[in-house]
Amino acid sequence: MEIVKPHPKTQPNDVVPTLPLYRSAPALEVRLEDFELYAMDRLRVLKGISDGLSRGKKSEEMEKLVKELWKANMKHPYASEVVNKDIISHFVLRLVYCRTEDLRKWFLSNETALFRYRFRLLTAEAQRALLQEFGLPYKAVPSAELESIKDKLAQVARSFAQPLPSSDAIFYKVPFEDVPELVAGRRVFICKGHAYVAPSQIVSLVVTQFRSIISKALTLTNRKWTSMIGEQEKDRLTPIVEALATSYLGPDYSQPKEFAEISIKDIDVTAKSSFPLCMRHLFEKLRDDHHLKHGGRMQLGLFLKGVGLKLDDALAFWKAEFTQKVGAERFDKEYAYSIRHNYGREGKRTDYTPYSCQKIISSTPGVGDHHGCPYRQFSEENLRAALNRMGVNSGAVDDAMDKVRNRHYQLACTLTFEAIHGVSCDSGINHPNQYFSDSQKVLKSKDNSLS
């Protein structure tokens, strides 16, 4: 796969998309802009799958979700490019997510889930063709052998309320270790070390093989990245690859939208009602200690900018706190510049964007720091206490803790939002400023209904 500068598009033509196995990188020229855009489109699909799985969606719901996510994000105006976009985006994200064990686990889990549900959407003929493409040495069970165990097969089907196998159904006889998920769920008949896999269960065969292919490929890609690619591409691709792992794909919160501004006099009340835990913790620490280290100032300062605290008010707010500890002269000399800088009034005049959940979660606070994601950084005891102070009931706290143990930090924050506001948040919390905006909408809606 070679990265090239932009060139004219080819003319559209009709090409029927297939389901690639991603065995090797394609011999394609990829425009640098497509390299990143394709990856972000696929990332939206994978993050949607991750959220759906962590919310415990049923298999049928996941199948529908994957179909919708794929249709919304992986389309291309040129039919001939649909398959290329699929393959290119996978290999770009393989580069992105090969670099650490946590990244590899996340990518492997969600790519496997994506493959599973895309496979299930194929026709039976296409599924069999893909089975052959894997080169799996499985043969259909002879009708005489099938007849001798048909009662056992029917018994397994009935136990899961599945349709009874028809007389002409094709079963595959495979080593039981090739279908671990079917064995673990007691969803397959086993005899003498072999599992008899029904047509509806073929997906388990190919998913096991697919997962193995991608797992090995990620390990090899990591070695290449570490030994060669990362250094060779440090001025071109490496910054893009590193940024994609923590990229935020939602709305821009660099400027307040629905709610024009918040004032200093209302900020304490607003913090209690509408700040997510990460920002509420920073805000309370600032009020208590009259100081925050750089990471905390950046995380909270940009958040406050995004929810509508004007520059003059921001300077007054931070100065009122910091001068209780460092004095007015030192504040003006050491801290005021960075506040103006965040608002695009100094330096490069860049309009800096508030941090997304992904960026906050991936941060690594040191001793004495208070930034980062509390759901990831707090001990269980401290997190429970913090959620109780926010008014989260014990049942919801338990649910949030369960998500934290499985590293679903954003979902834990989503459950917190739902418990406090008494509404569902199907889109999930992906940004602290989204939490604030959605909270304000709910509160204003409740106020309007009472008036």
327 sits in the region (left: phi over 0; alpha: psi -120 to 50; else beta) called left
Cβ-proximal residues to 362 (8 Å cutoff; 6+ apart), any chain: 245, 246
Residues of the chain predicted below pLDDT 50: 4-17
Q: Residue 131 class from Cβ within 10 Å (0-12 exposed, 13-18 middle, 19+ buried)? A: middle
Q: Is the pTM of this model over 0.85?
A: no
Which residue type occupies 254? S
The confidence score (pLDDT) of residue 353 equals: 87
| DSSP-derived 3-state class of residue 422 | coil
The residue assigned the tokens 């086993």 is: 190
225, two tokens: 């990245």
The confidence score (pLDDT) of residue 13 equals: 39
Phi, psi angle pair for 177, to nearest 5°: -70, -10
Contact 30, 95 (CB under 8 A): no
C-alpha span between 86 and 94 (Å, rounded): 12
Q: 210: closest CA among 19, 59, 65? A: 19
C-alpha span between 428 and 99 (Å, rounded): 27
CB atoms within 10 A of CB 441: 15
Residue 96 to residues 22, 218, 223, 239, 261: CA-CA distances in angstroms?
15, 10, 13, 10, 37
- The 8 Å CB, 24+ separation contacts for 323-329 are 324/290, 325/289, 325/290, 325/291, 326/291
Residue 252 to residues 55, 178, 351, 375: CA-CA distances in angstroms?
25, 46, 11, 24
The confidence score (pLDDT) of residue 348 equals: 76
Residue 157 to residues 12, 60, 162, 421: CA-CA distances in angstroms?
46, 18, 5, 43
C-alpha span between 179 and 159 (Å, rounded): 18
C-alpha span between 194 and 179 (Å, rounded): 10
Q: Residue 100 class from Cβ within 10 Å (0-12 exposed, 13-18 middle, 19+ buried)? A: exposed
C-alpha span between 102 and 96 (Å, rounded): 12
Q: What is the 3-state secondary structure (H, E, C) of 207-275?
A: HHHHHHHHHHHHHHHHHHHHHHHHHHCCCCCHHHHHHHCCCCCCCCCCCCCCCCCCCHHHHHHHHHHHC
Torsion sign over Cα 167, 168, 174, 180:
negative
The confidence score (pLDDT) of residue 220 equals: 93
